[in-house]
Amino acid sequence: EAEVAQSPRYKITEKSQAVAFWCDPISGHATLYWYRQILGQGPELLVQFQDESVVDDSQLPKDRFSAERLKGVDSTLKIQPAELGDSAMYLCASSGTDSNTGELFFGEGSRLTVL
Amino acid sequence: GNSVTQMEGPVTLSEEAFLTINCTYTATGYPSLFWYVQYPGEGLQLLLKATKADDKGSNKGFEATYRKETTSFHLEKGSVQVSDSAVYFCALSSASKIIFGSGTRLSIRP
């Protein structure tokens, strides 16, 4: 069964360091999402790609976060420098259809702890 | 703006009990509505969905009806099992953007 792959599953870093997360969506899925999930809260959208183009990054803290999907397939989310408040689960999801009626497929997430 | 409000947890029930998890939404236009479930150690997965008013989504014994008049999409199951223990998220989709509620943790006692 096709899955969304994410790595690393766990990352512990010190504040001010750089971290990066990788996501490989389900093959053929044009839309890719990065969400942040703080413990006890629902996922919040950070950035949404349609193929290699960003269609929504309004909630991405652009002073420290960046995301790219250069060839419209896999994607990288970077944080530099990391802050204590960035500790969260970072979720990647993909969709092959219009998200209004389609289904998002999530990876298992990357849990970040900033010390 | 669009938002989703769902019942705070945790919710603890005995096996075979009736379950309701409340969800209400605020949205412009006509959103699609979803319930996602996150089992321990796994990613979120779609449980059920409804794309227009009065639609009923159903899966694995769970049901939810899209009520436009009350802007609600409550999740129900007639007889829960231990294996239903998970975190449940209500979500809406509008203008290709999906917004999630804060989640409700459900624990089922044998």
By the 8 A CB rule, do B93 and B100 touch? no
Percent with pLDDT over 90 in chain A: 83
**pLDDT band at A100; cut points 50, 70, 90:** low
Phi-psi domain of A109 (left: phi exceeds 0; alpha: psi -120 through 50; beta: other): left
Positions in chain B short of pLDDT 50:
none
User: Which of A45, A101, A108 is closest, CB to CB, to B97?
Assistant: A45
Tens of pLDDT, residues B70-98: 999 999 999 999 999 999 999 999 877 88
Which of the residues B44, B55, B99, B105 would you substitute to probe the A interface, choosing the one with the greatest number of A C-beta atoms within 10 Å?
B44
What local confidence, expressed as pLDDT, does residue B8 receive?
A: 86
